[in-house]
Structures are given as C-alpha cells and as structure tokens.
A and B are shown apart, each in its own frame.
Chain A
C-alpha cells in the first residue's frame, strides 16, 4: 500500500525520522518498502491568499494582454501592484499570490521559477498571481489564474501551501502481506512505527455527536454469521455532496486515489486510515430500509459502480434490500450510487469472511481496495470506531447550511470481541532463536506491539500474552509470538551459526550428470524446452485431415486419451503438457535454422507427462517420464575443408547420418557401462509418426537373464515434416527413457589384459542384399569361438540383389597361441554356417 508520511504523522510523532530511515526500519523489521516518492510541489517562500481590488489596462498599448492589478495580501495594508497576463480575473476574487523571494513552478517545463520585484514594460510588479500549475496543482481544468473558493479562502495573507495542503509529502510504497490485514492502513503502520522506534501512538481529536432523527431508518439481517461476522449501518441526513476539502483531496491523491466527491472521498479516506472499507448508499434507494447480507441467487443480476453488469451465483456474497441487490463487499452498486442530489445516506462498515470475499472476487474477476482489505481480514472490534470516524468527517465536511444529522448506529453479528491468549515458553525462544532473553526483555519486545503479558497467569518458564483484536488473525500460536520477537529483535542482530553436520547416508546416484556430459562431450548443446505444447487449432484448412498450414508438429504422435491439459491458461501456447521432447527440439532446430545456423545438435533431458491409462492402478493419477532426446542436423565436423579438398562429394562425406547419431547413442550407453552388444536396433514396431518409416530403429536391451527393456527410438525425421518446416532432410532424432537407462546402468569391472597376442583375419561374404548386418554377425558370433571382436570393414553392392560384406575377426585365446590350422578351422566353420543359413558365397 501507499503510505503518506504526512498522514502517518497524524498518528505518531515522526520528528527526527527521515522517510529513508523509516523505510529502512520498515524493510528490516516489518514490511519491505519498495520505493519512496516525493509527492507535491517544491514551493518556497511567501505564497499567500490575496484579493483583487483593482484591474487596469497596461499603459503600453503594445502589450494589450497585460493588465495592472492591485492586490491586498494583508487586511488593512496597502495593496500591492502586480502585472498579470491572464484574462480570467475579476475584481473581488481571491487568488494565490507569489511574493518576491518565493519559488513557484514554471508551468511549461516544471522547473523552479523564482519571483522577484520586476519592471514589466515600465510598470513595477511586486509578485505574481498564480495559475494552478504554478503551485503544483496539476489536475485542475481551469485555464488562467486559480480562483480560490471564497468559503475556503476566508482569510487574506494565509499561506497557500497550508490552505491547499501543498506541502511536500513523501509516499512510501509498503509491501502488503496477505496475513497482515491490520497493516493495510495508516493507523496500522503507525502501530509498527511505534514499536520499532519506541514512540507512543497519538490519535487526532474528534468527537461524533449523534444528534437527532434522520429521514430514514434501517435494519440489518445477516443470513450466515460465518460469511459476515459484523455488519453495521448508520443513517445520516442533511448531506450536501460537493468537492472534498483540500487535505482529503491531497492525501488521497498521494496514495493514488482519485477524488470523486466529499462523501465518497471520506469513505475512502477512512478506509486508508483505519483499514476498514466503508460504503455509503443513497438512502432513497434502499427499499424498506432493509439491509440483508446474503448469497446471490443463481443468475441474479447486479450492476457494479463501474457500470458493468455482473451475473451472480450462490457463491457470491451480496447485500440486498427487500427486493434487489444494492451492494457487494468488493464494489458498490450503480443503483445506490451517491450522486449530487444525494441528501440522505446509509453508511456501511462491516467485516466479511476473507475466504468468501476472495471467492467472490475470483468468480467475478473483480478486485478493489476494499476486497484487498476484506481478504486480509478487518478488525471487527474497531469497525464501530472507524464508522464513527467516517460519520464525524461527513458531519464536518458534507454539510451546507444546516448541520448534518447523525442517526443511530445499528448492526448485526458479533456483539462481543473476546480477548485471546497465547502462551510463550522462554525455552522455545532459546530453541528456535538461540537467544537468551529474560522475561522482562521478552515482555518489552512484545509489549511494543501491544502484546501484553498477563502477569497473573504467567509462570517463571512461561508467559501468557493477551493478543490485541487487530492481530488475532495472524497471532494464534506460540511460534507466531516467537516470530514477532525475532522481528522486533532484528533478524540481523541474531548471530550466524554453522549448521550441525550430518554425513550423507548414501552418495547420490547422479545419472543425469553422466548422461549430460556424455552428450555434451560429443558435441551436443543442451536445450531447455518448455513443458507445454499448444492445442491444435481447428482451422478450415485442417478439415481435410492434413496438418494445418503453419505445419505445427507439436501434437504429432500426441495421445489425446492420455493428454493432460491446463484449464486456466492465459496463453494458447500453454495448453497441453508434452508427451515427447522431440517436437520442442524440432521447433528449436527450426528456430536456429531460420537464423542461419545449419549445424544444430541439441539435446534435452526433461519430463514427458501422461494421464495413467484408466485400467492402471497407481498412487498418482499422472505419470512423468524422464526422457533424454536429441535432434541433429548439419555436418559432422566443424570445418569441412578437408573433405571438400579431398574432392569427395562434400555433402555425402561430411553430413551427419543415421550412423553418426547411432554412434552418439552408443557412446552414451558406454558411458553408463551398458554393454552395447546387448543393445538391439530393430524396425519391428510401428515407429513414431515423426520418424521416417524406413530409417528408424527401436532400441531395446536384450539379455538372457532379464526381460527385454525398451530404451527408445532413433531415426531420421519424416520427409513430410522436412518439407513442411523447410528443414534439412538429413535431420536425425533420438529419444531414450532415462529410468530404463538407470535400471541397466552397469559398473566398470577390470578384466585382466591378455598376454597372448590376438589373431586377426578378414572375411568377405557375398550375400543377398536384404539380409541385415545383425543377422550375419549373429551367425558369425555363434559359429566362431574365441572371437573377441567383430568389425565390419566394408560394404559393397554387387548387384541389385546382392552385396559384399567384409568383416575383420579378432580371435583371442586365453591359454595358448593359435596355430594357423586352428584359425582356418574356425573360419571354415563360420563360412559353412553362413552358407547354410544365409546362402552366402565366398570368393577366393
């Protein structure tokens, strides 16, 4: 909230405290002060009320606009001669006069404008008649000299700064806290100042006189005391709606509230001062004088002060008379609005249940200064005082010829406000704050906040505090009092201590870091993509079943049955939770390519989100799968001059391909000690629709001692999306399941290094072209014992039906050196097997 330093000083003596000191103290011990603004003009010197007694034309005809005036600025003194250029002045008017030596505001550029005795084309001028802007009133509509209200400017020579409340003020922006409804007011913050600076509070002096019979009388009915613990109405008559007195206008302006009229301004003024929202109804509108606090009816209509029609529900709390809705805690109704013709009012002050107000506010999408305070809780114990204060100000500032009549105060709801008590063990201060405070020190710290110890029930190890009504919302437990002790003592006065040490029970298994390093080490950049995907637009060009023209790939492969959507998003981009990391990475690829970057190697580790299948039983209704995924497009090397110079086909040799990405994925497996000879790449299953159906592999882990584990997919981007998104056709993707990798993760175990040298033999096999490498290597491995390593050396197509594969076989014996006949026997066995199983042939 905005806090006026000047207003605050009504309630506490601030002498010797600068706004900066106050802000610092607030920030460090209570509420953060987000800023200090200077409010009001920087006027200096004598600027006073004067009366125009004479106006003459300037003797020099060249300056026909200038006129020579005579102004009295002090009763009984000779008038001053002042030359003036404005045309809106008349004899008898009272106006602000800046005398020589004063400083006003240059209305053209806002700079300081010093007033001196001057010669205006041969005529002496002893000052200046001021326009509104020249004394810092910027919201005036009057052009020319500011003509003062004679009812206000009753005395000549009065300091205009005082009269119009133009003194410079400081406005602190104090962060309001959702648990501290008591502090959203001038009085509430004055209480904090009192505690922090150890200065007593003071109250402005005023006395309300209930002085007679008003024209209207009212009754109060509350349907549910839980919704509204207290509701009061006071009838007032002989009201005159007009402009507010300057001090109210200026103070409201300082805290950012626009002046409406004296009556409305006073309700706002008291709300800022006391934290108690107020509302004034035009009494003529209230049918049968009945105030009924109730829930709205379904589809009941109500037009708020802002002119908007609101449709009510039974969740919304309203105030009605015997036939219609006339008010609501959040905002008053247009039908009971105060107008210039209003002479009789009903003044409401109430305390509504914060949760009910909040619910109404959310349902209507409407909040106000009133709802802000109701939601934080108002102090019903002082509602009557606040109402009295408003009635006093109304009786003082809203009368004309006859005095305002102040009727009786009627209310419903709570009649008693019992004191609450909270115990505080001194041992708990020690335990939580590690402070050795004596009982009297604790009593002093809390006493400053008006938490007073009840000595009769306190014991040596335990104090009992009476909680003032305005803090009963947030101080209910011992820990709440400990917090107050800590705060007033000062967080920074509590010495730092090292935490007690507790060794870890287990060293964390950080598979994520291993994966990230394995991928970044191979040249991939890590991306973080948002978890949201947009809901597909149903557009006209989408009706034929093809993807929409903007070729959004976000939902390709998205399982709508298991999709999780967000209900209340404010952006169409944040509607569904992703089920794969790939669409986001492809969009990131496009983003980079659109900006001229052709080499894009990206990976992300993140979650995919699913609803559980309906037949699945789980403790959680949703499933979050950690994935690691990548997209690669571009060249294999940073610099490709080598390949080009070697006069090879530059594109064929340097572009990344399926096998580049397969290698990256295998290195990742190896970094996790997952044996890659047990990883299978197959095209058995229906591939994800984002991938090329012929250039895709499902990756599984197969071993004898455990069931096959799905690890994920690897493949080339589907050509349809390449075209739609204008990407490089050679774009490859992979997506792996991190939980599966975690389960398979192995350890490195030392194998003794062989002392017997290995024997290496090459074997060239001619085969039908559709036989996959995995089939060949499987038979070779089965047939050849002591085979330590099997490497494909080359592959040549022989014809459209056949191909030639060369393998390098490395044999390693654990015991003895191989004899060449033994090797030849092994190779013959391999040849025989391949011939039988695969119809292979061998050339000499």
Chain B
C-alpha cells in the first residue's frame, strides 16, 4: 500500500467514524467533545494532515482537496447536529421554566385628570369644532367688567344676587362672579365677527353646602356677527347638548333675565337619567336646568365699541360643576375641591 493510498484509506475511515460520532452525540457537551476529538487543533484530522508532508508533492494537492472536503462535510454535520441538540435542550428547558403570571404587576401609577378638567376639555372641544376660540382673563376683576360694562344698572338688585367678594386692593376690585367679565374684554381685543369660549373660576360669597360652593367653574361662549338670530343660539346649544351627552335630548328654552342679554333664556334639557319621566336627579321634574343664554344686549356691544346696528350676537354660560355632577352622577359639589384620592381616581 502506498503512502497515498494509506492516507486516503485513513481519511475514509476517519470520515465514517467521525460521522457516526457526530450523529450519536446526545448532548451539547458530547458534541463539543466529539468536535474537539475529530476537528480540534489537536484532533484526529490534524494528525492525519500532519502526514501529508510525507507523501509525494504531486499527490499532495489532490489529497489536500479530499481532506478539505471531508472537513467541510464533517463541519456541516457538526452544525446540523448541534442546532438539533440546541433546540432539544431549549425544549427541555422550556418544560421547566415558568413564572406565576398572577403575581401583581410592577405597576407604575396611572394618574387621573380631574373630572372638571375632563368635562371642560369636552366642552372646549365641542365648541372648537364650531369655531369658538379659547380666551383667558383675570379672576380678580374690576366692577366695570364684571357689572358696569354688562349693563348692570348701578344700585340694581341683580348685583346683590351675585354675592360678590370685595377685596382690599381697591373698593372697585372684586373677585369675578361670572365668566361674563370676559365679554367686553374680548370685544375690546377682537373685532367682530368673533366666536370665543372661555372657562375659569368664579367666586360667590355664599354658605357652602352640597349644591353650592364659594368657588365654582363656568364655561361661557360669545358669538358676535352680522344677522345672528335667536334661532342660531338655539341651534348651536342644542348641538352642544347632543354632543355632550352623546344623544339627542329634548330641550326647552324659557325666559329668564340677565342684564347683559336680551332676550335672555334658561335652557333645560330632558333629564338624561330618566329620559324625562322624573327621577331623583331632576327632582321629579323631568327637566334639568343646564345653562343660561341670550342675545347680547346692545349696551354690552356698545361698551365693547361694537355698533349694535351692524352687529349682534349671543352668549351662553354654564356651571361646569353642575354639568360634571349630572354627567358622572356626583351628588355633592364639595367633592371637587377636597382632593380625596378615592374620588380623583374614579375619573
């Protein structure tokens, strides 16, 4: 037997033994030692190839090729078997690896927006879609913007109905009693046509009880344009009620008096809790008083330097707490300002 033939024979036997060993390896550790044994730096193949120097130069390339193809074949066998064993091991591992998914979450707290913020943002969005832009103004206000400019006659009992807080800043500086303080301020800043919505805190010097707070929020809207009709006022507010309560509610407009609007109206809606048949929320009346509204009085337009012969408009104002109480079924207005987490987390 020539040296070449001997080597070829060795390679063949080596390939068979190694293939068998790879195929029979049962664990990742097994296959790793098999790889070391046959393909490692000190493994069998290296030993075989060391003898390559002893054969004829002419035969070396051919034998080298054979040796390489054997190596490649075996390496691929190794990878195949290893990947199989990998997946086997993962399968085994997955049989035992598990957690108690019912343990409590590593939960981050979820914050809550105050119910008044939520309802105010609903009101603002609804009117934004109708083109009413938001405005802001002071809570500490002059009697001029709060009363005089709004056509409250001096010495008129309608001023008493407002239970005004006076301040030590100046005898004429008060805490605003309604959001209507903004009407003439807005007119002075924005020439007509205009549509404005403004919300904020208002103050009434009253005894606090389940229905009344010294501080509450109002949202008010103002529209000034040409040929604005009472019908448009009704149409706008009926749309608002429909969108706020998510269903068309029957409404009615009935006469009322506000010095700054004429005609003035109170808007009642059919009670959304009993659909008008009478329940505790509506005091068995079937109707709920939702907001006050009216056509802007010409004297107010004049105070805002707007010519009432050319322009007219309407305004409407609502108690935000009241709407929130109705919408969420809250029975005591004092909840809004206590900051009880058990209340706040419900919204």
Interface residues of A (CB under 8 A from B): 27-32, 177-180, 353-356, 358-359, 362, 375-376, 431-434, 477, 479-480, 482-483, 486-487, 491-492, 494-506, 508, 510, 513, 516-517, 519-532, 564-571, 574, 577, 585, 588, 591-592, 595, 597, 599-603, 607, 609, 611, 620-622, 624, 637-639, 641-642
Contacts and interface: CB of A to CB of B under 8 A. Distances in A.
Contact of A624 (B140, B169, B297): B140
Interface stretch (B27-35, B75-83, B88-96, B223-231): B223-231
B105 interface: yes
Interface in B198-242: 201, 203, 205-208, 214-215, 223, 225, 227-232, 234-236, 238-239
Interface in B117-153: 117, 121, 128, 130-131, 133-134, 138-140, 153
Contact of A621 (B169, B229, B256, B259): B169
B339 A527 contact: yes
Contacts of A499: 130, 223, 228, 232, 235-236
A621 B156 contact: no
A431 to B, nearest CB: 6
A355 B231 contact: no
Pick the most buried of A28, A179, A597: most chain B CB atoms within 10 A of its CB: A179
**3 nearest interchain CB pairs?**
A355-B155, A523-B109, A520-B111
Given A477-B298, A637-B106, A621 B173 contact: yes
Contacts of B167: 564-567
Given A486-B230, A574-B214, A496 B131 contact: no
A526 B120 CA distance: 14
Interface in B259-277: 259, 262-266
Contacts of A500: 225, 228, 232
B131 A530 contact: no
A718 B193 CA distance: 53
A520 B340 contact: no
A823 to B, nearest CB: 34
Contacts of B256: 32, 177
Interface size class of B (residues with CB under 8 A): 35 or more
Interface stretch (B8-16, B18-26, B59-67, B157-165): B157-165
A359 B339 contact: no
A648 to B, nearest CB: 14
A166 B104 CA distance: 73
Contacts of B235: 496-499
Given A491-B265, A524-B111, A508 B128 contact: yes
Contacts of B153: 355
A495 B253 CA distance: 12
Given A479-B262, A516-B117, A520-B113, 11 more contacts: A434-B231, A487-B255, A497-B234, A500-B232, A501-B130, A519-B111, A520-B111, A522-B111, A525-B111, A526-B113, A532-B214
Contacts, number: 257
A168 B128 CA distance: 54
A496 B251 CA distance: 11
Nearest to A356: B155
Interface in B160-208: 160-161, 165-170, 173, 175, 193, 195, 201, 203, 205-208
A186 B224 CA distance: 39
Nearest to A495: B231
A525 B345 contact: yes
B218 to A, nearest CB: 14
B39 interface: no
A639 B105 contact: yes
A588 B342 CA distance: 12
Contacts of A567: 165-168
B338 interface: yes
A394 B274 CA distance: 53
Nearest to B192: A502
B71 interface: no
B231 A497 contact: yes
Given A498-B232, A502-B193, A504-B131, A487 B173 contact: no
Given A432-B230, A504-B131, A486 B173 contact: no
B245 interface: no
A36 to B, nearest CB: 12
Pick the most buried of B111, B131, B170: most chain A CB atoms within 10 A of its CB: B111
B205 A591 contact: no
B339 A602 contact: yes
B262 A637 contact: no
Given A28-B254, A431-B229, A526 B169 contact: no
Contacts of A503: 131
Contacts of B341: 525, 592, 597, 600, 602
A528 B158 CA distance: 30
A588 B111 contact: no
Contacts of A639: 104-107
Interface string B310-347: 00100000000000000000000000111111101100
B344 A527 contact: yes
B297 A569 contact: no
B255 A491 contact: yes
B140 A564 contact: yes
B337 A530 contact: yes
Given A497-B232, A516-B117, A28 B252 contact: yes
B249 interface: no
A480 B262 contact: yes
Contact of B158 (A178, A353, A492, A529): A178
A639 B109 CA distance: 9
A526 B111 contact: yes
Contacts of B336: 528
Given A355-B155, A622-B169, A638 B337 contact: no
A366 to B, nearest CB: 13
Given A31-B255, A483-B263, A513 B121 contact: yes
A621 B339 CA distance: 31
A600 B103 CA distance: 23
A354 B157 contact: yes
B262 A570 contact: no
Contacts of A27: 254
Contact of B255 (A30, A477, A501, A566): A30
A530 B336 CA distance: 10
Contacts of B252: 28, 491-492
A31 B257 CA distance: 9
Contacts of B266: 32
A637 B110 CA distance: 10
A492 B265 CA distance: 11
Nearest to A563: B168
Given A354-B157, A483-B262, A525 B112 contact: yes
Contacts of B295: 432, 479
B154 interface: yes
A569 B231 contact: no
A604 to B, nearest CB: 8
B88 to A, nearest CB: 33
A516 B112 CA distance: 9
14 contacts: A180-B257, A496-B234, A502-B193, A504-B133, A508-B133, A525-B345, A528-B337, A566-B166, A569-B205, A571-B208, A574-B214, A601-B109, A607-B201, A637-B106
B44 interface: no
Contacts of B121: 513
Contact of B312 (A431, A495, A504, A522): A431
B217 to A, nearest CB: 8
A437 to B, nearest CB: 13
A179 B155 contact: no
A355 B139 CA distance: 27
Contacts of A31: 255
A601 B173 contact: no
A603 B207 CA distance: 27
B42 interface: no
Contact of B103 (A180, A528, A620, A641): A641
Interface string B280-307: 0000000000000001011000000000
Given A29-B255, A359-B155, A566 B337 contact: no
